[in-house]
């Protein structure tokens, strides 16, 4: 009896310590995000002086006005939206028609294809041969270079295949086959209507991937007019190049340097907000995707 | 029963042919994927032969003359071979030592939270940074750590210290890289362990409670063994990619002054190959990298299969 009491007291202490540490971790994760948002809305002078601790001070929207007036950022935004829409559509369609046959346990030779595809997860030709082949294909500076080289993620195909196998009874497909249904028909009228949750997951995974990627653009795009948002951001945030944003003669160099700080934070917000706003609503789908991926093991 | 026999049983070439003819449309569905993997993955793999050739622009990958191991020798004897290996392995091992256990601990801690609202809030917030782009995270790091007006140095100065030049001081590079990665991905990487923890039979916990086991004891004797297979699989994957330090963030955080600590194989390949157009040499460096990774993966997987009965294939 006495023993039980001591145990439960130690459990209570565990709860308190655990809760405290988790709140601390959450605050540490959250703080930089809040700081960026606050700094972007504040008077840049106050940001430079280190006056911003948590909330914005001296509300000032000049940085946002500059950002939204900048041609490069606007064009980067449009390009990214275009790459994301077309790229995600191609990704999802190809993943579905690849995952479906591979999910069929009656498919002859399925293991060969599966092995051929998954091998690419563990070994690759490397950057330079890939680059040379894409160049030989004439894809440099081509719109499709932002879509085709990453058209199918084998990891996502495996997630989808697992979903088709585990969530849709095979008997349902068998009876349709006996009725003489073609496989396209089965995919379209039986599999797809039952697969909306996993398709949502795929749209999100691929979509966020396109939105955030810069590597392919860095390597395969020369024409700045085709740059996606992330490459424009790289110039502003990492390379500190914002001449275009600063072209008006009315500001002194000192003023421009002050404003530059605000512009950095504003561009971070503008670039990240679409994903961060959508994400909490779709969190359970994302989590589901990771979990299905884990089952495969 | 009879119906499934009709569909997927049957031995011999004849029935395979009949199956393939009846289900030709399944193979048609696979055609785009086959083409995709052939063109964008297997063709470059075939193209690694460039590592053993001297690339001549007019002759292309396939027509250039063979030169054997010349490029590998040049790489191994190069002045920066040691530095590249040390940085690549250093960043990887540091990441593995710090970044691998933290999501496991975080998942166990979150799993012990009883209040559903707090649990959800903690999850939503810790997952969020995963959705920021690498460029944005690199930009945040550079701004926060700026010696003149970054918030970190403001704090150091306020506490009576001297500003630290984080981004140009090679000694800081690996720590910045690893800790920012932990910040960005620990929540997301814990999801997979949360899933494994949710799969543990609650009866085990109930029985342990009856026996008077404390929370710590149950974590140690039930939760940890329960998620071990997941931990091992992820460890195999991590060790198997130990030479693949993510190009994207290193490249963005790299500058001329921190180069002694930040130059890794992938950024070197990019610089030599894409910027410097030394195609054969950089292909050889890349191939060396891939081969080491692949060998590591096989070794770890084999050990794990022998010892734990857990393996990737």
Write out the DSSP string of B91-130: HHHHHHHHHTHHHHHHHHHHHH---HHHHHHHHHHHHGGG
State how many domains chain B has: 2
Q: Which residues does residue B53 pair with via DSSP β-bridges, in sequence order?
A: B66
- Look at residue A251 in the predicted model and tell me its pLDDT: 66
CB B285 within 8 A of CB B268: yes
Question: B291 in a domain, yes or no?
Answer: yes
Confidence check: pLDDT of B5 > 60 = no
Domain with residue B290: its CATH number is: 1.10.3720.10
Q: Is position B313 within any domain?
A: no
Nearest 5 degrees, angle CA A142-CA A232-CA B173? 115
Residues 201-240 in A contacting B (C-alpha not used; CB under 8 Å): 208, 211-215, 219, 230-231, 233-234, 236-238
pLDDT value of position B3: 42
My answer on whether B28 and B76 are in the same domain is no
**Degrees (nearest 5) of the Cα angle B149, B151, B154?**
70
B143 and B10 within one domain? no
Is B44 in contact with A125 (CB distance < 8 Å)? yes
Nearest CA to B133 out of A270, A281, A69, A285 is that of A270
Preferred mutation among A125, A146, A265, A267 to probe B, highest tally of B CBs within 10 A: A125
ipTM: 0.90
Q: Nearest Cα to B183, choosing from B102, B117, B91?
A: B102
- If you classify domain A61-295 with CATH, what class do you get? mainly alpha
Mutate to test the interface with A, among B27, B135, B253 (most CBs of A within 10 A): B135
Compare all CA atoms of chain A with the CA of B29 and give the residue at the minimum distance. Answer: A97
Same domain, B19 and B148: no
Q: Do B110 and A22 touch (CB under 8 A)?
A: yes
Q: Same structural domain for residues B117 and B242?
A: yes
pTM of the predicted structure, to 2 decimals: 0.90
One domain, residues B137 and B37? no
Partner residue facing B45 (CB), from A124, A182, A283: A124
Helix (H, G, I), strand (E, B) or coil at B258: coil
Tell me whether residue B55 is in a domain: no
Cα separation of the two ends of chain B: 31
Give the pLDDT of residue B100.
Answer: 95
A131 touches B at CB < 8 Å = yes
State whether B67 and B123 are in the same domain. yes
Let me know whether B163 and B264 are in one domain.
yes
B293: containing domain = 60-308
The reply to whether B228 and B255 lie within a common domain is: yes
B137 part of a folded domain: yes
Q: What is the pLDDT along chain A (297 residues), one digit of tens a residue?
A: 445 555 577 888 888 999 999 999 999 999 999 999 999 999 888 888 888 888 888 888 888 998 999 899 999 999 999 999 999 999 999 999 999 999 998 898 899 999 999 999 888 999 999 999 999 999 999 999 999 999 999 999 998 998 999 888 888 888 888 888 899 999 999 999 999 888 988 998 899 999 999 999 999 999 999 999 999 999 999 887 766 566 555 667 777 778 888 889 999 999 999 888 888 888 888 777 777 766 554
pLDDT tens digit sequence for B84-130: 999 999 999 999 999 999 999 999 999 999 888 889 999 999 999 99
What is the rounded average pLDDT of the residues B239-257?
A: 88
> Do the domain assignments include residue B229?
yes
For residues B155 and B289, state if they share a domain: yes
In a domain, B22, yes or no: yes
Is A152 in the B-facing interface, judged by CB distances under 8 Å?
Answer: yes
| Tokens linked to B161 | 């210290």
């Amino acid at each position: 009896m006495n023993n039980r009491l001591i145990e439960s007291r130690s459990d209570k202490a565990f709860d308190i310590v655990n809760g405290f540490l988790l709140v601390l971790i959450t605050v540490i994760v959250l703080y930089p995000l809040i700081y960026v948002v606050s700094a972007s809305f504040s008077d840049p002078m106050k940001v430079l002086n280190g006056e911003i601790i948590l909330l914005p001070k001296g509300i000032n929207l000049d940085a946002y006005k500059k950002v939204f007036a900048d041609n490069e950022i606007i064009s980067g935004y449009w390009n990214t939206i275009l790459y994301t829409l077309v790229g995600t559509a191609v990704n999802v369609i190809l993943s579905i028609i690849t995952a479906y046959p591979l999910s069929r346990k009656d498919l002859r030779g399925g293991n060969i294809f599966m092995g051929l595809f998954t091998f690419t997860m563990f070994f690759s030709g490397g950057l330079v041969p890939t680059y040379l082949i894409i160049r030989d294909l004439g894809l440099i500076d081509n719109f499709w270079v932002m879509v085709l080289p990453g058209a199918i993620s084998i990891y996502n195909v495996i997630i989808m295949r697992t979903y088709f196998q585990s969530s849709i009874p095979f008997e349902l497909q068998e009876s349709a086959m006996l009725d003489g249904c073609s496989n396209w028909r089965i995919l379209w009228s039986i599999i797809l209507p039952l697969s909306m949750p996993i398709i949502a997951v795929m749209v999100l995974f691929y979509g966020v991937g396109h939105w955030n990627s810069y590597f392919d653009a860095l390597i395969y795009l020369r024409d700045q007019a085709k740059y996606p948002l992330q490459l424009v951001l790289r110039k502003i945030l990492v390379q500190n190049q914002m001449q275009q944003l600063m072209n008006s003669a009315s500001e002194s160099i000192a003023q421009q340097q002050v404003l530059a700080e605000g512009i950095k934070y504003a561009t971070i917000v503008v670039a990240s907000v679409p994903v961060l706003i959508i994400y909490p609503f779709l969190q359970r789908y994302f989590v589901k995707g990771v979990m299905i991926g884990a089952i495969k093991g | 029963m009879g119906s499934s026999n009709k569909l997927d049983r049957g031995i011999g070439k004849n029935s395979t042919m009949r199956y393939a003819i009846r289900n030709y449309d399944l193979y048609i569905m696979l055609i785009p994927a086959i083409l995709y993997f052939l063109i964008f993955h297997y063709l470059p793999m075939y193209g690694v032969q460039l590592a053993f050739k001297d690339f001549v622009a007019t002759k292309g990958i396939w027509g250039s003359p063979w030169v054997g191991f010349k490029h590998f020798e040049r790489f191994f004897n190069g002045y920066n071979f040691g530095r590249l290996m040390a940085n690549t392995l250093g960043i990887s091992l540091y990441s593995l030592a710090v970044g691998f256990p933290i999501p496991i601990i975080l998942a166990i801690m979150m799993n012990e939270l009883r209040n559903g609202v707090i649990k959800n809030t903690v999850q939503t917030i810790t997952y969020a940074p995963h959705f920021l782009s690498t460029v944005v995270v690199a930009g945040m790091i550079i701004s926060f750590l700026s010696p003149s007006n970054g918030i970190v140095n403001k704090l150091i100065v306020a506490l009576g210290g001297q500003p630290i030049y984080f981004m140009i001081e090679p000694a800081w590079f690996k720590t910045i890289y690893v800790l920012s990665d932990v910040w960005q991905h620990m929540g997301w990487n814990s999801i997979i362990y949360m899933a494994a923890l949710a799969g543990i039979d609650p009866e085990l916990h109930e029985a342990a409670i009856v026996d008077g086991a404390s929370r710590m004891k149950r974590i140690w004797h039930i939760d940890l063994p329960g998620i071990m297979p997941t931990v091992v699989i992820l460890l195999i994957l991590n060790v198997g990619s130990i030479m693949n330090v993510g190009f994207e963030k290193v490249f963005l955080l790299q500058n001329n002054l921190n180069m002694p600590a930040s130059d890794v194989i992938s950024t070197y390949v990019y610089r030599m190959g894409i910027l410097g157009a030394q195609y054969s040499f950089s292909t050889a460096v890349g191939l060396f990298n891939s081969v080491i990774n692949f060998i590591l993966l096989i070794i770890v997987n084999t050990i794990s299969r022998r010892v734990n009965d857990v393996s990737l294939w």
